[in-house]
Amino acid sequence: MTAGAPLIETVAEDPRWHAAGLEALASAACAAALAGAGLVPRSWEISVLGCDDARIAALNGDFRKKPQPTNVLSWPAEDLSPERPGGAPRAPAPEDPMLGNIAISYDTCAREAAEAGRSFAAHVSHLLVHGTLHLLGFDHIDDKDAVKMEALEIAILASMGIDDPY
């Protein structure tokens, strides 16, 4: 871990994540997302679970009542969402550096990357940036929030040398 990187605890339940380099991808993507959101990355902690479609479908069912696979899920430690659509999320409390948890499915990521003609690493990086922004209170349910979140994602990915996924 570099001095500027956040503390990322990765758990690879699916062994394919080891070969894919989940730890390095998560460290780089989460750090870029935090910096892009105006935070000092090394001040924050995030847990990342690399799993498969069966596990993420169970999590999606348990927490969102949608028992099907998805690419990424996020559980913020604190609700930082803005008071009004299109507003700025609240800043996380520095005295509690744990921002939350992210789960990401190897199967769905691999399928989506292949369908989009993107590299697996670029797609996973995008989804980890996306998940980190959710931990920071960004969302895409309302159009005003979606425009703000997507623009920030695009800028963060560009800083990582990754093309606009939209």
Residue range 9-51, pLDDT digits in tens: 999 999 999 999 999 999 999 999 999 999 999 999 999 999 9
pLDDT value of residue 66: 96
Asked if pLDDT for residue 5 goes beyond 90, the answer is no
Cβ(149)–Cβ(133) below 8 Å:
yes
pTM for the whole thing? 0.95
7-86+95-159 fold: Collagenase (Catalytic Domain) (3.40.390)
Note the Cα 118 to chain centre separation in Å: 17
The better pLDDT of the pair 126, 3 is held by: 126
What is the rounded average pLDDT of the residues 155-166?
97
Cβ contacts of 74 within 8 Å, gap of 6 or more: 100, 101, 102, 131, 132, 134, 135
pLDDT value of residue 2: 43
Residue range 91-145, pLDDT digits in tens: 999 999 999 999 999 999 999 999 999 999 999 999 999 999 999 999 998 999 9
| Model confidence band, residue 3 (pLDDT cutoffs 50, 70, 90) | very low
Annotate 50-75 with b (16+ C-beta within 10 A) or e (fewer): bbbbebbbebbeeeeeeeebbbbbbe
pLDDT value of residue 1: 39
Question: What is the C-alpha to C-alpha distance for residues 116 and 166, in angstroms, rounded to an integer?
Answer: 10
Question: What is the C-alpha to C-alpha distance for residues 163 and 14, in angstroms, rounded to an integer?
Answer: 27
Starting at the earlier edge strand, list the strands of the sheet with 45-51. 7-12, 45-51, 98-105, 72-76
The better pLDDT of the pair 69, 1 is held by: 69
